[in-house]
Amino acid sequence: SCPNGKDEQGNLYPPICNDPDVSGEIMQVTRSRVGNAVNLGAKDGSHAASLESGVDELAVKQFIRAINPYVQFVTGINTIANQPFPEITCTNGRGGMSGPVVAPIAREWLRIARETASSETAILSCGGVDTQNAAYEIPLRIEMGALLVGGAQEYFRTKNPKQLAERWGLKYASV
Protein backbone atom coordinates (compact mmCIF):
# COMPACT_ATOMS: atom_id res chain seq x y z
CA SER A 1 0.00 0.00 0.00
CA CYS A 2 3.04 2.29 -0.23
CA PRO A 3 4.89 3.42 -3.35
CA ASN A 4 7.70 0.98 -4.05
CA GLY A 5 10.75 2.72 -5.48
CA LYS A 6 11.21 5.25 -8.24
CA ASP A 7 11.22 5.04 -12.01
CA GLU A 8 13.98 6.39 -14.30
CA GLN A 9 12.55 9.93 -14.06
CA GLY A 10 12.54 9.86 -10.26
CA ASN A 11 8.75 9.47 -9.95
CA LEU A 12 7.45 7.11 -7.29
CA TYR A 13 5.87 3.92 -8.57
CA PRO A 14 2.20 3.70 -7.59
CA PRO A 15 1.27 1.35 -4.75
CA ILE A 16 0.57 -2.22 -5.84
CA CYS A 17 -2.86 -2.03 -4.16
CA ASN A 18 -3.87 0.35 -6.97
CA ASP A 19 -3.72 -2.58 -9.39
CA PRO A 20 -6.16 -5.28 -8.26
CA ASP A 21 -4.98 -7.79 -10.87
CA VAL A 22 -1.37 -7.55 -9.70
CA SER A 23 -2.47 -7.61 -6.05
CA GLY A 24 -4.52 -10.74 -6.62
CA GLU A 25 -1.70 -12.45 -8.48
CA ILE A 26 0.82 -11.62 -5.76
CA MET A 27 -1.49 -12.98 -3.07
CA GLN A 28 -2.23 -16.10 -5.11
CA VAL A 29 1.48 -16.84 -5.60
CA THR A 30 2.20 -16.05 -1.94
CA ARG A 31 -0.61 -18.36 -0.79
CA SER A 32 0.71 -21.17 -2.99
CA ARG A 33 4.19 -20.74 -1.50
CA VAL A 34 3.23 -20.50 2.19
CA GLY A 35 0.35 -22.99 2.12
CA ASN A 36 -2.97 -22.86 3.92
CA ALA A 37 -1.62 -23.18 7.47
CA VAL A 38 -0.30 -19.59 7.44
CA ASN A 39 -2.55 -16.61 8.17
CA LEU A 40 -2.00 -14.34 5.20
CA GLY A 41 -3.13 -10.75 4.89
CA ALA A 42 -2.63 -7.58 2.95
CA LYS A 43 -2.66 -3.88 3.76
CA ASP A 44 -4.65 -1.62 1.50
CA GLY A 45 -4.23 2.05 0.76
CA SER A 46 -6.96 4.58 1.27
CA HIS A 47 -7.98 4.84 -2.40
CA ALA A 48 -8.65 8.51 -1.67
CA ALA A 49 -7.09 11.36 -3.64
CA SER A 50 -7.61 13.77 -0.74
CA LEU A 51 -9.64 14.27 2.42
CA GLU A 52 -12.33 15.96 0.37
CA SER A 53 -12.53 13.37 -2.42
CA GLY A 54 -13.70 10.48 -0.29
CA VAL A 55 -12.80 6.88 -1.00
CA ASP A 56 -12.93 5.44 -4.50
CA GLU A 57 -15.48 2.72 -3.72
CA LEU A 58 -14.92 0.78 -6.94
CA ALA A 59 -11.15 0.65 -6.35
CA VAL A 60 -11.60 -0.76 -2.83
CA LYS A 61 -14.12 -3.33 -4.04
CA GLN A 62 -11.84 -4.46 -6.88
CA PHE A 63 -8.85 -4.80 -4.53
CA ILE A 64 -10.83 -6.75 -1.91
CA ARG A 65 -12.38 -9.07 -4.50
CA ALA A 66 -8.95 -9.76 -6.04
CA ILE A 67 -7.23 -10.73 -2.78
CA ASN A 68 -10.14 -12.17 -0.80
CA PRO A 69 -9.76 -15.80 -2.00
CA TYR A 70 -6.18 -15.92 -0.68
CA VAL A 71 -6.18 -14.00 2.62
CA GLN A 72 -7.51 -14.36 6.14
CA PHE A 73 -7.34 -10.63 6.84
CA VAL A 74 -6.98 -7.23 5.24
CA THR A 75 -5.74 -4.08 6.95
CA GLY A 76 -6.77 -0.59 5.93
CA ILE A 77 -5.94 2.14 5.60
CA ASN A 78 -2.50 3.35 4.87
CA THR A 79 -1.96 7.08 4.42
CA ILE A 80 -3.74 9.31 1.94
CA ALA A 81 -0.91 9.30 -0.56
CA ASN A 82 0.53 12.06 -2.70
CA GLN A 83 -0.56 15.02 -0.59
CA PRO A 84 1.27 18.36 -0.81
CA PHE A 85 4.05 18.81 1.75
CA PRO A 86 6.37 21.46 0.27
CA GLU A 87 8.95 20.89 3.01
CA ILE A 88 9.57 17.33 1.73
CA THR A 89 12.12 17.84 -1.01
CA CYS A 90 13.11 14.24 -1.79
CA THR A 91 9.66 13.46 -3.20
CA ASN A 92 8.99 16.74 -4.99
CA GLY A 93 6.94 18.10 -2.11
CA ARG A 94 4.54 15.16 -1.87
CA GLY A 95 3.90 12.71 0.95
CA GLY A 96 1.35 10.59 2.77
CA MET A 97 -1.18 12.22 5.10
CA SER A 98 -1.96 10.44 8.34
CA GLY A 99 -3.15 11.10 11.87
CA PRO A 100 -6.62 11.80 13.26
CA VAL A 101 -7.55 13.90 10.23
CA VAL A 102 -7.82 10.73 8.09
CA ALA A 103 -10.30 8.96 10.43
CA PRO A 104 -13.37 9.67 8.22
CA ILE A 105 -11.57 8.18 5.20
CA ALA A 106 -10.57 5.13 7.26
CA ARG A 107 -14.17 4.59 8.36
CA GLU A 108 -15.43 4.94 4.79
CA TRP A 109 -12.84 2.39 3.61
CA LEU A 110 -13.88 0.03 6.44
CA ARG A 111 -17.54 0.21 5.45
CA ILE A 112 -16.76 -0.65 1.83
CA ALA A 113 -14.26 -3.39 2.71
CA ARG A 114 -16.62 -5.06 5.20
CA GLU A 115 -19.46 -5.02 2.66
CA THR A 116 -17.19 -6.56 0.00
CA ALA A 117 -15.01 -9.09 1.84
CA SER A 118 -16.31 -12.50 2.77
CA SER A 119 -17.62 -12.82 6.30
CA GLU A 120 -14.62 -15.04 7.15
CA THR A 121 -12.13 -12.34 6.18
CA ALA A 122 -11.05 -10.29 9.20
CA ILE A 123 -10.75 -6.54 8.80
CA LEU A 124 -8.08 -4.74 10.80
CA SER A 125 -8.96 -1.04 10.84
CA CYS A 126 -6.30 1.60 11.25
CA GLY A 127 -5.85 5.16 10.13
CA GLY A 128 -6.68 8.18 12.20
CA VAL A 129 -6.86 6.55 15.63
CA ASP A 130 -5.02 8.11 18.56
CA THR A 131 -5.45 8.73 22.28
CA GLN A 132 -7.74 11.70 21.69
CA ASN A 133 -10.33 9.73 19.71
CA ALA A 134 -9.75 6.10 20.76
CA ALA A 135 -12.83 6.06 23.02
CA TYR A 136 -14.96 6.93 20.00
CA GLU A 137 -13.12 5.32 17.06
CA ILE A 138 -12.40 1.89 18.54
CA PRO A 139 -15.97 0.90 19.48
CA LEU A 140 -17.40 2.49 16.35
CA ARG A 141 -15.08 0.57 14.05
CA ILE A 142 -15.68 -2.69 15.90
CA GLU A 143 -19.41 -2.06 15.50
CA MET A 144 -18.77 -1.45 11.79
CA GLY A 145 -17.19 -4.90 11.48
CA ALA A 146 -13.51 -4.49 12.29
CA LEU A 147 -11.95 -7.33 14.26
CA LEU A 148 -9.17 -5.07 15.58
CA VAL A 149 -8.59 -1.31 15.57
CA GLY A 150 -5.25 0.42 15.79
CA GLY A 151 -2.99 3.19 14.67
CA ALA A 152 0.69 3.69 14.03
CA GLN A 153 1.56 7.37 14.11
CA GLU A 154 1.21 7.85 17.86
CA TYR A 155 3.04 4.56 18.55
CA PHE A 156 5.89 5.67 16.31
CA ARG A 157 6.32 8.90 18.30
CA THR A 158 5.95 7.56 21.84
CA LYS A 159 8.85 6.57 24.06
CA ASN A 160 6.63 4.07 25.91
CA PRO A 161 4.39 1.99 23.60
CA LYS A 162 3.19 -0.22 26.47
CA GLN A 163 1.93 2.81 28.39
CA LEU A 164 0.26 4.14 25.25
CA ALA A 165 -1.50 0.78 24.69
CA GLU A 166 -2.72 0.90 28.29
CA ARG A 167 -4.11 4.42 27.74
CA TRP A 168 -5.93 3.29 24.61
CA GLY A 169 -7.31 0.29 26.47
CA LEU A 170 -8.54 2.45 29.31
CA LYS A 171 -10.19 4.85 26.86
CA TYR A 172 -11.93 1.95 25.14
CA ALA A 173 -12.98 0.37 28.45
CA SER A 174 -14.49 3.64 29.64
CA VAL A 175 -17.11 3.64 26.89
pLDDT digits (tens, 9 = 90+) for 100-131: 999 999 999 999 999 999 999 999 999 999 88
- Residue 121 makes CB contacts below 8 A (sequence gap 6+) with 68, 71, 72, 73, 74
Helix (H, G, I), strand (E, B) or coil at 89: coil
pLDDT cut 70: percent of the chain above it:
99
Examine the pLDDT at 5 and tell me if it is beyond 70: yes
Distance CA 38, CA 34 (A): 6
Beta strands at 80-84 and 94-97: parallel, antiparallel or unpaired: antiparallel
Element (H, E) at 115: helix 103-116
Distance CA 27, CA 17 (A): 11
More confident residue, 95 or 57: 57
Length of the chain: 175
More confident residue, 82 or 23: 23
Q: Which of 139, 158, 157 is nearest to 149 (CA)?
A: 139
pLDDT tens per residue across span 51-81: 999 999 999 999 999 999 999 999 999 889 8
Distance CA 72, CA 151 (A): 20
Q: Which of 108, 134, 136, 2 is nearest to 51 (CA)?
A: 108
Element (H, E) at 172: helix 161-173
pLDDT of residue 120: 97
